[in-house]
Structure 1
């Protein structure tokens, strides 16, 4: 990042003019007669952008050495980090060639976890992925809505599997977590990209760069609620029988679900006191869960139920976190 100082000049009776850095003009590909967009930012700065496309579209490329000394999971983590950083083209290379396991693992994992990243070239020593995603096709609000819908269905189905001892539903809940992770990683990528591109931020529905931190915390909390739905389903798989519908754990599940729904609704709520009530309700639900903990005799069934109860408490606590972020994001600027 470089700074150029320019003096403001006054011409005519009402026009202020300032010259543009010649390197920037050439890099963008501007010529006399082209139009610039001037955007007044909330922090009193002025964003100067061009609607003229560069001579060649800039594609952010990265070349990644596949490390055979590391596990396939560790190598995948490096790929994900580049995806989140906004790289459009990822070339994974190795002089030794990919093993059959590593090749399949990387290809399957990218397909399952990273929206928009497609394999476009493949050889013995290279795998090239290209991001074909158009951010405006999936604005941030829609991504969050999709995440929330998935997680809510996972919560409902995990408790259904507990009540009916339905192993098929429990396994399906666990599998759906991959879809939640895909939307979560996409949202993180969008938020990072919007910090560098104000016009993109506006297109995907971010009112201010200050909101990016709030959205980051919200999507993480939603993702963690999904993880606890998976934990509930995993504990159901360890049990030998279903649970009576009259068991108080189902009341706890209903209360946790309701505050989770309310916390998401709070993102569009302008009344700070109403949002504050959601925070209080969520904390009360968590305390209700504490009151249910002293039960059972240490059997496998009771241990599983205790773990499920703890996950439901965590759902309520993450819901309180979401509502608290909504309060912070909805405070009107003085």
Structure 2
């Protein structure tokens, strides 16, 4: 529908009620009739947003068709399916225009679908595959998805700590499984933000106003998980690093505790919208940088300068994970402060 911008006079109705009528064109477009409910949202800047209250009305299904040929690589196909998912499409139709789908293409579709929460292959023949996404975005909110990502990262930190302590290959494998699950939740969170951005003003509420911050936050958290999994792969495939693992157990355990503490404070501050707690999480993650310098010095003392270059790659990844974590804490601080609108209370009692 075309955008409307009108000036209407507020009228008195009864002794104490003020009233303004709704634009007739908008009422007709929305299909409203007497007795229907409308949702009224008051924003922090004083703007009043009115939208139809239609919890029963489903969003119109979005369908995308991906045309491929026998020369289309399975990697390109996977990437197109991924993008179609995160941009909010509900049905993804893959069709070969010149021949049957190749075995690699079919396998590429299947592996991609397994990586997408709520996606299933519902139709398949020699030249066509239909993927249906059964995710109901109304059941989710971005804050719960962020909390899920933080909890997975905490588990990854604990598994990495235990794996380095015990040099247990199965623990390294479990950490990689957790990273796969983190990627799935991240992808769903990205999809959610795209769907949220397409909704009418007023339907999405505060989350829609902070989409940029939330997108940066979930990307930063995904980077933390990717870095932790890269440490697991590096150590598990490197006998030299395994040999030095005993020198790293104590400092790694200490930094793991600090990371988990930072994650707990980050999640609590986000859930409670507490500015002081959010600021504390930023301070804790900043402290990780100075703590890492102590860790590095401790490792040099334990293994010597000649051997240090052999384990430097792992330590650099730990430093990188801490940097990403600090970025996540800063984004949560921005979200908490922005949620306060025109009044930011920094008083300490």
* TM-score (ref. length: structure 2): 0.80
1:159 positional shift: 2.0
Instruction: List gaps (5 residues or longer) in structure 1.
Output: none
Which deviates more, 91-100 or 128-137? Answer: 128-137
Counterparts of 1:57 and 1:286, CA distance in 2:
46
Structure 1 residues 60, 238: closer, same or farther in 2, change over 3 A? same
Name the counterpart of 1:19: 23
Q: CA RMSD in A?
A: 3.0
Corresponding residue of 2:173:
171
> Corresponding residue for 1:104?
107
- 1:260–1:315 contact (8 Å) kept in structure 2: no
For 1:3, the equivalent position in structure 2 comes to 3
Match of 1:121, SS? strand
Identify which range, 160-169 or 65-74, moves more after superposition: 65-74
Which of residues 323, 329, 333 in structure 1 aligns to 2:335? 329
**What residue number does 2:220 align with?**
221
- Given that 2:175 and 2:229 are in contact with CA atoms closer than 8 Å, whether structure 1 keeps it comes out as yes
8 Å CA contact retained: 1:67, 1:75? no
How far did 1:239 drift?
3.0
Counterparts of 2:131 and 2:274 in 1: how far apart (Å)?
45
Offset of 1:41 from its aligned partner? 4.5
Q: CA deviation at 1:233?
A: 0.7
Residues 135 and 190 in structure 1, CA contact (< 8 A), matched pair in contact too: yes
| 2:75 is aligned with 1:73 | yes
Query: Corresponding residue for 2:38?
Result: 37
The 1-side partners of 2:70 and 2:305 are apart by 48
Corresponding residue SS for 2:208: coil
Aligned to 2:94: 92
Match of 1:312 among 312, 315, 318: 318
Q: Secondary structure at the match of 1:58?
A: coil
1:282 to 1:6, Cα distance in 2 relative to 1, 3 A: closer
Is the Cα–Cα contact under 8 Å of residues 228 and 314 in structure 1 kept in the other structure? yes
Task: State the distance in 1 between where 2:135 and 2:195 align.
Answer: 13
Contact 2:92 2:130 in 1 (8 A): yes
Pick from 98, 117, 120 the counterpart of residue 118 of structure 1.
Answer: 120
Q: Partners in 2 of 1:171 and 1:304 — Cα distance? A: 23
What do residues 115-151 of structure 1 show as CA deviations (whole Å, max 9, x unaligned)?
1121111111111111111223333333222222222
SS in 2 for 1:17: coil
Q: Is the 8 A contact 1:289 1:313 kept in 2?
A: yes
Q: Deviations over 1:292-329 (max 9, x none)?
A: 44635565xx5563223222222322222222222222
For 2:173 and 2:295, how far apart are their aligned partners in 1? Answer: 27
Distance 1:125 1:200, change over 3 A: farther
CA gap 1:34/1:303 in 2 versus in 1, 3 angstroms: farther
Question: How many Å separate the matches in 1 of 2:163 and 2:258?
Answer: 18
